């Protein structure tokens, strides 16, 4: 097996059953054209991988932020799947070093181009999807994007939910909300935390999250959403 392909698989912690799919994912159109095989570029895989990525990120955003409306979820997804973010993720796994580029593209600095790297990463997701199915592709996407998720969706004005809720309660009651860990469950590597926030007026709201911090943010989001509906 080509050492190039072996290194990529080690970097993404996934072993291909069909290594040809990995080669296809790494093949830029400039390389395919030089080989006289224009059909052997990663463009079709990129098309497929784009859809896989969007579904994985959408599902995870839906799970992480149960109190967020469609607008906030869309903003979070857009931030994660934009070209600059994808290129950054591609560089973290060294994808730039393993691309198959034509001589002209190589000479023009193609390995540094965000758009080219983003396309290659999406093609990689498409390749894993075809090779191992949706669950394998989702594991790869979620593993690579885990460090990029915010603790909570950002509210208008750029403040997180806990900060905004604290401002509201201090203005109205001169007191802060109190957060309590209600429960935690699941294995150590995939725990789910349940948190309750108590407002100064006695209202209580609960939410869950993959960490204590994120569960607190989700509880604050729940409180904010309910307070807004009460005022409407």
Choosing from 50, 67, 105, 196, which is the catalytic residue? Answer: 50
Residue carrying structure tokens 């054209």: 33
CA distances, 190 to each of 21, 181, 211 (Å): 30, 17, 9
Helices and strands, counts by H and E, the chain:
12, 3
CA distance 95 to 105: 16
Q: Is there a catalytic annotation at residue 122?
A: yes
* 161-180 burial: b if 16+ Cβ within 10 Å, else e: bbebbeebbeeeeeeebebe
Q: What is the DSSP string of 189-228?
A: GG-EEEEEEE-TTS-EEEEEESSHHHHHHHHHHHHHHHHH
Residue count of the chain: 232
Q: Is there a catalytic annotation at residue 50?
A: yes
Choosing from 23, 122, 131, 216, which is the catalytic residue? Answer: 122
Nearest to 140 by CA among 60, 213, 20: 60
Active centre residues (catalytic): 50, 122
């Amino acid at each position: 097996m080509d050492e190039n392909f072996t290194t990529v698989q080690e970097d993404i912690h996934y072993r291909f059953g069909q290594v040809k799919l990995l080669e296809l994912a790494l093949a830029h159109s400039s390389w395919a054209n030089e080989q006289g095989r224009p059909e052997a570029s990663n463009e079709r895989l990129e098309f497929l991988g784009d859809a896989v990525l969007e579904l994985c990120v959408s599902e995870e955003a839906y799970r992480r932020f149960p109190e967020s409306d469609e607008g906030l979820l869309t903003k979070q997804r857009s931030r994660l799947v934009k070209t600059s973010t994808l290129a950054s993720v591609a560089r973290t796994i060294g994808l730039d070093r393993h691309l198959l580029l034509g001589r002209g593209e190589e000479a023009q600095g193609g390995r540094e181009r965000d758009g080219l790297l983003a396309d290659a990463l999406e093609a990689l997701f498409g390749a894993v999807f075809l090779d191992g199915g949706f669950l394998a592709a989702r594991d790869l996407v979620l593993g690579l994007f885990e460090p990029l998720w915010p603790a909570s969706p950002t509210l208008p004005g750029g403040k997180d939910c806990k900060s905004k809720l604290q401002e509201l309660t201090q203005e109205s009651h001169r007191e802060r909300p109190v957060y309590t860990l209600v429960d935690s469950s699941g294995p150590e590597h995939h725990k789910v935390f349940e948190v309750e926030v108590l407002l100064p007026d006695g209202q209580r709201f609960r939410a869950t999250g993959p960490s204590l911090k994120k569960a607190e943010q989700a509880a604050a989001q729940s409180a904010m959403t309910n307070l807004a509906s009460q005022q409407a």
